[in-house]
Chains A and B, each alone.
Chain A
Amino acid sequence: MSMFSACAMLCLRCRGLLSPKNSTHLHYVHVQHSVTVGKSTRISNRFLSRGNHTAAQPRLNWKRQTSCYYDYTAKYLTTEAKESKHTDEGPRTDIPEYKPALVPTIDALPLPQSQISVEGLDADEKLSALEEISDEEAVGISIPPSIPPASVSLQDYVDQSETLTKLVQLGVSLWKLERRPNVGSMLLRLDFNRDVAPCLLFLKEIGVEDSRLGYIISHNPFILSENLENLQARVNYLTSRKFSSETVASMVSRAPYLLSFSVKRLDNRLGFFQQQLKLSASNTRNVVARLPRLLCGSLEPVKENLKVCEIEFGFKQNEIQHIVIAIPKVLTASKKKLTQIFDFVHNTMKVPHHLITKFPQVLNSKFLRLRERHLFLEYLGKAQYDPDLPSYISLDRLASLPDEIFCTELAMATLEDFYLFQKTL
């Protein structure tokens, strides 16, 4: 009686494992056939028969379990093992016997129970823990991996999934990716040899280094699901615009989302930068090669920054061009911070426009750092930024030198004095 209920529960649980879960939880990909149970009656029969007979026929079951496990690890290890699977299936002639009995009864719930009750009575004699078994069978007993059917983390699946294991070996941060919606399920559904490997080989062909592959996938996992022809077309477009292949490789390494944009959009962007800034083609290429994420982001903040530079700051067109060619980051910088730094440099430090154009790095530096250093120099009486007068301090050295060198060379004071001064501000 207890055996019957146990068998029934096991059966239901197996059924539960097999039934499709159309939720946003992660599914596990079992064996080389992705299990689309319920949608088609042509199910991987061996698997199904194995599942439903978990408790019924123990000895035959063990052998089926091993073959199931073999298939599993076959996929996990190498593709060559597929042949071993076929050889394994040869001697298993008893499986087809159970197939006709089980296949028609998938949908109907009460029938299998009655079936198992009949078989369960027979199984009572065979199922015993004290039975003697041969060594091969003992070695062949294996516990199937207990993977939860749905989970919020990829930790439960990484040891069993070949794709995930290879991604971890590449250096992909799975913990960051699993937080993003739907990315985890997508990664699990990928087949390493069919989807992931061709994409990685393509990236290698372009010239991306092996160490960057992990970075690219961590930031843009959707590149793995892109069509290879599209990726090739985009790379061809970039090379047709006279970007060298090394430049394309470095751009792809630094802006992982670059190849996910269509050719039309990339063309649009490049055209915008060329027209708005009125730069020559080679200058545009230079700017875009140094900051490839210009091609990835939205254009509205860039337009705003350009307007701010022109109207609020009062830079002329050629000055803006010079600044952008020197520091492309000004185009994507935050408007508030840019305004704060410019206001301080122009109004408080009294630096004229032409000097700022000469040293645009000052617009990229940290405001607090600039403020502390300027006030320290002012306190010491050394705040002189006019190149015509003696003891001139250039803006780029002021902004970029590390603290010790700034103190010893520019301010002629000790580092401790500088820290003490910071505490009086």
Chain B
Amino acid sequence: MRSPAVRMFHRLEGLFCVYKPAGVHWKLVRDTIETNLLKGLNDTPAPPLTHEVRFLPNPNNEPKASGGLMLRPVSVPVLSKHPLVTGPEFQHLKVGVGHRLDTSSSGVLVLAVGNGNKILNDLYGIQTTRDYTLEGEFGMATHDFTHTSRVVERSTYDHITQEKMERVLAMLEGANQKALRTYSSVDMNSQEAYELAVKGLLGPDGKSVPILTGLRCIRFQPPHFTLEVQCLNETQKYLRKVVHEIGLELRSTAVCKGVRRTRDGFFTLQDALTRNHWSAADVLQAVQKYSSKKNNNKKNKSSGTQTDKAMLQTSEETLAVSQENKADKEGTTEVQCN
């Protein structure tokens, strides 16, 4: 006979994503979510207290019962199982974090509860890409590539045009595509490599240097500019360094004012929960949405054609790889246009 709290916990197990605000350590976010989930679980109505029968002596003023019996049975509640004595039913939850975000970045952060943590491991294993938006500003270079730290150099940026920017971005993309091919474990001169490249599945498996599979400039208003990148195996500090290097390539200097993750695997900004929606009920809804999406994909996969069975093991992989394909195609078409 499971208590309502345990039933709610089983419904909570799974993955969901959260929008991490800038300036907050990811651990604080995880702790806040855990506290809110515990509050929601422990607020469910507790099961009623069990009773036990004890034989207690008759009080003095009662005349002695027939047969000279001095005891009477009384049903008393068993206080050793009272919630004030045992504590709440749930005192700790396993809430895991997917790809981490450092303190000054913001964006989609994937979290998992209970059994969902096992799926997190798979998420790390398969090569999902992440989508970032980088805000940059020309004119200065700083110590750790952000706009708040110690300034190292200042320079002019009047000579920068959009055309020069696109040229630099294309050069960077080329270098990254080369890295992509080098770090994949297939021989470049083989048929296998060609087939994988045609499908867009060529990529490193396991650890490698950070690779930007897609890079383009969304907004260019000097001194401000915005880049959109899709990347693999990255850290936020590396992305800021990329902005700094773009500044250097353009014979000027640049700092990164904001790193914002818009997609992690197949969790997008649309699914992310903002701070007002970090309560247990909202998280429950998000987890249900994720699991229903997963089930739908499984159904689609089973009904559709079976291609590339070797690579596609789980439904997340299907979605992730298809996202990767889309991103790669976007990146390559951009380069071709420019």
Which chain A residues have a beta carbon within 8 Å of chain B's beta carbons? 70, 73-74, 77-78, 80-81, 83-84, 135-136, 139-140, 142, 154-156, 158-159, 164-165, 168, 171-176, 368, 372, 403, 419, 422-425
Contacts and interface: CB of A to CB of B under 8 A. Distances in A.
B69 A136 contact: yes
B276 A168 contact: no
Given A158-B85, A423-B274, A165 B57 contact: no
B60 A175 contact: no
B57 A403 contact: no
B56 A73 contact: yes
Interface string B50-70: 000001110110000001111
A168 B67 contact: no
A142 B87 CA distance: 31
Interface in B1-31: 19, 21-24
Contacts of B79: 158-159, 164-165, 168
A77 B56 contact: yes
A155 B275 contact: no
Contact of B84 (A73, A78, A142, A172): A172
B80 interface: yes
Given A139-B69, A159-B79, A419 B274 contact: yes
Contacts of A77: 56-57
Contacts, number: 76
Nearest to A176: B87
Contact of B67 (A135, A154, A423): A135
Most interface-central of B22, B24, B84, B276 (chain A CB within 10 A) = B84
Interface in B67-116: 67-71, 78-80, 82, 84-87, 106
B217 interface: no
Interface residues of B, number: 30
A325 to B, nearest CB: 31
B269 A423 contact: yes
Given A135-B67, A154-B85, A83 B21 contact: no
Interface of A (DSSP majority class) = helix
Given A135-B67, A419-B276, A174 B80 contact: no
B274 A422 contact: yes
A158 B84 CA distance: 11
A158 B275 CA distance: 42
B287 interface: no
A425 B55 contact: no
Given A80-B60, A135-B67, A368-B21, A168 B275 contact: no
B272 interface: yes
Contact of A159 (B56, B78, B86): B78
Nearest to B19: A423
B59 A423 contact: no
Contacts of A403: 276
Given A77-B57, A158-B80, A168-B82, 7 more contacts: A84-B57, A164-B79, A171-B84, A173-B84, A175-B87, A422-B19, A422-B274
A363 B288 CA distance: 39
Contacts of A158: 79-80, 82, 85
B155 to A, nearest CB: 26
21 contacts: A70-B57, A73-B56, A78-B59, A81-B57, A81-B59, A81-B60, A84-B57, A135-B69, A139-B55, A140-B70, A159-B78, A168-B84, A171-B84, A173-B84, A174-B84, A175-B87, A368-B21, A368-B24, A368-B275, A372-B21, A419-B276
B48 to A, nearest CB: 16
A422 B78 CA distance: 50
